[in-house]
Amino acid sequence: MLFRQLFDRETYTYTYLIADRGTGDAALVDPVLEQVDRDLKLIEELGLVLRYGLETHIHADHITGTGKLRELTGCQGIVPDNANVACADRHIKDGEILQLGTIEIEAIATLGHTDSHLAYLVNGDRVLTGDALFIRGCGRTDFQSGDAGILYDAVTQRLFTLPEETLVYPGHDYRGQTMSAIGEEKQFNPRFVGRDRDDFIAFMKDLNLANPKKMMEAVPANKHCGKSNFAA
């Protein structure tokens, strides 16, 4: 398996390139519109064929590159079940497995940051957690139908029950960290360690964070596969 972590400095977003070395079939998870040229150059250099643009959720901090990638490569755009994205080629459900050559990508419902969010377990040994679980943190729950209690349940019941050696690759990091492990987050993540569900809900309610800078542009655009001109 080929696995690469790519970074957008403006939005602190991680994009993941996954590919089967034998077949050349590839997927990009959470691509960023401004980084499409970078991603396609890497895919071409490595001799891969992009099959899927895969989203963990409808993003509020950046515009997805999936729509542009679909135009340029013919790849399928895939979003979580219940995501309000009519232009997507496919909606993927909890427990569904996306086959990428010999690689299995299993969807895990991790609602709470938004009401349509998935993590992706790749070949059973690493999980792309999107904005549900960060390294020593988690995504916010105060917009896009977020729900702190549901997020607590998703992380503790769906992610923290994975084997402790499972590698964690988040959707963002704001402190220069790249990866973690389920065992580490269970032991050291301050959002969850020592907090029960009610404590977590109260903590998240008091964060009082500013809205993402691109929220008013990004959310509508991402509901139209990355197009800001919806009539186009």
Q: Which domain holds residue 57?
A: 2-211
Give me the mean pLDDT over the 1-22 stretch: 97
Query: Tokens representing 177?
Result: 């960290």
Could you give phi then psi for residue 27, rounded to 5 degrees? -135, 145
Query: Tokens representing 11?
Result: 């939005």
Q: Measuring CA to CA, which residue among 93, 88, 63 is closest to residue 78?
A: 88
- pLDDT of residue 95 exceeding 80: yes
Q: What percent of the chain has pLDDT over 90?
A: 91
Q: Classify residue 222: in a domain, yes or no.
A: no
Query: pTM (2 decimals)?
Result: 0.96
Q: Classify residue 17: in a domain, yes or no.
A: yes
Question: Mean pLDDT for the chain?
Answer: 95
Give the DSSP letter of residue 156.
Answer: I
Q: Classify residue 202: in a domain, yes or no.
A: yes
Q: Classify residue 21: in a domain, yes or no.
A: yes
pLDDT digits (tens, 9 = 90+) for 202-225: 999 999 888 888 888 999 999 999
Q: Measuring CA to CA, which residue among 131, 146, 113 is closest to residue 30?
A: 131
Number of domains in the chain: 1
Q: What percent of the chain has pLDDT over 70?
A: 98
Q: Classify residue 232: in a domain, yes or no.
A: no
Give the DSSP letter of residue 159.
Answer: I
pLDDT at 229: 62
Q: Classify residue 216: in a domain, yes or no.
A: no
Q: Are 166 and 180 in contact (CB under 8 A)?
A: no
pLDDT at 232: 38
Residue listed under structure tokens 């427990």: 95
CA distance 200 to 213: 26
CA distance 152 to 149: 5
pLDDT at 231: 41
Concatenating the DSSP letter of every residue in 203-226 gives HHHT--PPPPTTHHHHHHHHTTTT
pLDDT at 143: 87
Sheet holding 76-80, edge to edge: 2-8, 13-19, 25-29, 49-54, 76-80, 90-92
- pLDDT of residue 133 exceeding 70: yes
Q: Measuring CA to CA, which residue among 32, 118, 121 is closest to residue 83?
A: 118
CA distance 182 to 177: 15
Band of pLDDT at residue 89, cut at 50, 70 and 90? very high
Give me the mean pLDDT over the 19-31 stretch: 98
Q: Are 104 and 115 in contact (CB under 8 A)?
A: no
CA distance 73 to 160: 36
| Residue 232 vs residue 137, higher pLDDT | 137
Inter-CA distances, 16 with 199, 207, 218, Å: 33, 29, 20
Q: Classify residue 207: in a domain, yes or no.
A: yes
CATH number (domain holding residue 174): 3.60.15.10
pLDDT digits (tens, 9 = 90+) for 121-130: 999 999 999 9
Q: Classify residue 88: in a domain, yes or no.
A: yes
List Cβ neighbours of 41 (8 Å cut-off, separation of 6 or more): none
pLDDT digits (tens, 9 = 90+) for 40-74: 999 999 999 999 999 999 999 999 999 999 999 99
